[in-house]
Structure 1
Amino acid sequence: MTGVARSPFPDGGLHHDALFYDHDTDHLDAVHEFVVAGRSAGEPVLVAVPGHRIPLVRRLLDPLDGVEIADMAVIGHNPATIIPTALCGLVRRFPGRRVRVLEESLWSGRRPAVYRHCVEHEAMINLGLADQPLTARCLFDRSRLPDAALADAERTHPWLWSGGAARPSAGYRPPRAVLNQLARPLPPPPGDAVTVPIDAAGLGALRAAVAAAAEAAGLGGERVDDLRITVTELASNALTHGTGPATARCWAAAGEVVCEVSGPGELGDPLAGRIPPTVASIRGRGLLLVQRLSDLVDVRVVDGVTTVRARLELPAGRAGGRVPAPRSAPDAAQGGFVRPASR
């Protein structure tokens, strides 16, 4: 194992770097170096790695007090939840102290749909946590990840860590530039998506419509309840903050149930749903809850219209085809289903 390395960063705000490793021994060396440096400084430490790495990491770290271990495949299943749960959570549990998190949010075998959201997460760290007393080191498997993933890691980390020292990342880009590049247009909803106009009096019908569509596609149990809460939060946000009529749509495709709310009005804060509000705040929890309940969430603002698209995975074996039409379809004036004409 390597010795304890000194950080080149000044005390104070965020220290965010990436470390590329080549094999299991490299990985354990990186974990050991980071944790021992933190414990030597009296800093609380969280190590969040995918589940298949936890047994080795646990054997390495069990003798060390003050170290927490988490399964990134669980706490970061939706990468958008890593900041509020793991990073902000640790900072707020230890006010006035510097904390450190070693995380591995991207690994070979991660479902492809998550990739862009992992890159977005890393950029969000730089944007939202710049003033926090946090040392965040992110591990990337150079032997298994494609070159494009390593290039994105360089774009989203101000520093690269190697051989016990940090050097500036030549590829680093400002977080807003990275986020703008990632915000590609969403594919349009299918022509047969279940569509419900949103109004305050019709939220019950909206929940019922979305639940029926999700159950017909194969979503079940508590996940249908999660979708009901999700669409309620999104619709309430549209009614509260939007500037005109909004619409909810639901469909199934590619192994997912998708629920979308779209309407005029601009969501100007890219960190909405990422940074938990203070205890005293009465707002700011809606999108946070949507992220927690969804497997992935996309937010887009185009020409003054905000679209939030929440995606929930179907159980294995359910391909997620066309959402069947409901047995009855009341008209829009009664808050029921509206079947759009084919496009």
Structure 2
Amino acid sequence: MTLIHQALLFDSPSVFLAAAVPFVTEGVRRGDTVLAVTSAEHEELLREHLDGVAERITFLPASGWFDSPGRTLNAHHRRIDELPGTTGILRVLGEPVWAGLDPLETSEWGRYESVMNVALAGARAWLMCGYDSRTLPTAIVDDARRTHPALTVGTRSEVSAAYADPVHYYAERNAPLLPRPAQGVERLPHFVDMGPVRQFVAVHAIRLGVPADRLDDFTLAVNEIATNAVRHGAGHGEVRIWATGRRVVCEITDSGHATDNFLGFLRADPHAGHGHGLWIARQICDLLEMRTGESGTTVRLHMRRVL
């Protein structure tokens, strides 16, 4: 089979259960690998209605699974890679965590939902993503119809008439980057090798709020993007770093122009000698923004701050 990606739209516990219980129990019966990545409330509800098969389902907290778009995408890849045999599939009943997100995070998680249709297109996976219209803003529920080819409401499944081509959806999310702050921006105006870049990050990242145990990872991510800037730009680039209320942002700019779609969202061939930098950076960082055009390329790497 190839990927099935559907949104479960519900407005009550009974509607949620009407779709979720058959989905996971059929997976258990078929010998699939079944994950339930839901709220604590819905995990408890499911366990009450699974008639003895709960122990054959892996329950995971949604807050840990839906941690960052890049890491969540890679978590799906890892589980698919680990599938036993050639017939079973990965079934994920998931509830993306939308509460408490700022506009940028909300936009990037929408992008993730759309890109999944391309990144996992040939995978042995069936993803059912829950959207609770009682608690979620209408705009997020409406957007689910655009990012999921299939919809389920209770026991009724249908093709989503509002589904948007991921290429077009991705382009819609590429609005101009927010302006840099007027103050508090540190700048490395010119680099041609990675030593000064790594030193620049080491000097400023902890002071701005990057957790000490994530400094090495953050430095690695910046190094990967800066290396791309040198290799694919004009042989040099520029780095800036600053803090927002929630995150530390490191921005790398160069004069190169990338032409691929879904930059850093599609896993590179592990045997390829190049093409891994953006993918690695997306795994490490909490958010990654990228804009590219004839005037050059800008990548912003976001890491949550210690507050």
Please report the TM-score for the alignment, with normalisation by the length of structure 2. Answer: 0.88
Kindly report which structure 2 residues correspond to 1:108-147, keeping only aligned pairs within 5 A, or say none: 108-147=99-138
1:89 to 2:78 alignment: yes
Q: What are the ranges of 5 or more consecutive residues in structure 2 without an aligned counterpart?
A: none
SS in structure 2 at match of 1:19: strand
Aligned equivalents of 1:28 and 1:252: distance in 2? 43
In 2 relative to 1, CA 106–309 (structure 1 residues): closer, same or farther, beyond 3 Å?
A: same
1:21 to 2:13 alignment: no
> Could you tell me which residue of structure 2 aligns to residue 48 of structure 1?
37
Aligned equivalents of 2:277 and 2:44: distance in 1? 36
Aligned-residue offset at 1:200: 4.2
In 2 relative to 1, CA 290–57 (structure 1 residues): closer, same or farther, beyond 3 Å?
A: farther
> Could you tell me which residue of structure 2 aligns to residue 195 of structure 1?
187
In 2 relative to 1, CA 26–235 (structure 1 residues): closer, same or farther, beyond 3 Å?
A: same
Q: Deviations over 1:231-278 (max 9, x none)?
A: 111111212222453211111122321001111223333334333334
> Could you tell me which residue of structure 2 aligns to residue 68 of structure 1?
58
Aligned-residue offset at 1:194: 1.5
SS in structure 2 at match of 1:298: strand
SS in structure 2 at match of 1:230: helix
In 2 relative to 1, CA 244–58 (structure 1 residues): closer, same or farther, beyond 3 Å?
A: farther
8 A contact 2:248–2:303 mirrored in 1:
yes
Q: Indicate the percent of aligned positions where both proteins have the same amino acid.
A: 29
SS in structure 2 at match of 1:184: coil
Aligned equivalents of 1:264 and 1:58: distance in 2? 54
In 2 relative to 1, CA 296–186 (structure 1 residues): closer, same or farther, beyond 3 Å?
A: same
Aligned-residue offset at 1:29: 4.2
8 A contact 2:233–2:255 mirrored in 1:
yes
Aligned equivalents of 1:101 and 1:93: distance in 2? 14
Q: State the AA in 1 paired with 2:297.
A: T
2:69 to 60, 63, 79: 79
> Could you tell me which residue of structure 2 aligns to residue 213 of structure 1?
204
Aligned equivalents of 1:292 and 1:55: distance in 2? 30
Aligned-residue offset at 1:207: 1.5
Kindly report which structure 2 residues correspond to 1:267-282, keeping only aligned pairs within 5 A, or say none: 267-282=258-273
SS in structure 1 at match of 2:80: helix
> Could you tell me which residue of structure 1 aligns to residue 246 of structure 2?
255
In 2 relative to 1, CA 92–258 (structure 1 residues): closer, same or farther, beyond 3 Å?
A: same
8 A contact 2:79–2:90 mirrored in 1:
yes
Aligned-residue offset at 1:111: 4.7
Aligned equivalents of 1:37 and 1:25: distance in 2? 18
8 A contact 1:84–1:275 mirrored in 2:
no
Q: What are the ranges of 5 or more consecutive residues in structure 1 without an aligned counterpart?
A: 1-11, 317-343
8 A contact 1:99–1:134 mirrored in 2:
yes
Kindly report which structure 2 residues correspond to 1:282-321, keeping only aligned pairs within 5 A, or say none: 282-316=273-307
Please report the TM-score for the alignment, with normalisation by the length of structure 1. Answer: 0.80
Aligned equivalents of 1:290 and 1:104: distance in 2? 25
Aligned equivalents of 1:112 and 1:185: distance in 2? 14
Q: Deviations over 1:91-143 (max 9, x none)?
A: 21126333222221243344544211111011101122222222111110111
Q: State the AA in 2 paired with 1:235.
A: A
> Could you tell me which residue of structure 2 aligns to residue 7 of structure 1?
none
1:38 to 2:27 alignment: yes
Q: CA RMSD in A?
A: 2.4
Structure with max Cα Rg: 1
SS in structure 1 at match of 2:281: helix
In 2 relative to 1, CA 102–269 (structure 1 residues): closer, same or farther, beyond 3 Å?
A: farther
Question: How many residues are treated as equivalent by the alignment?
Answer: 303
Aligned equivalents of 1:298 and 1:50: distance in 2? 28
> Could you tell me which residue of structure 2 aligns to residue 325 of structure 1?
none
Q: Deviations over 1:306-333 (max 9, x none)?
A: 21101112123xxxxxxxxxxxxxxxxx
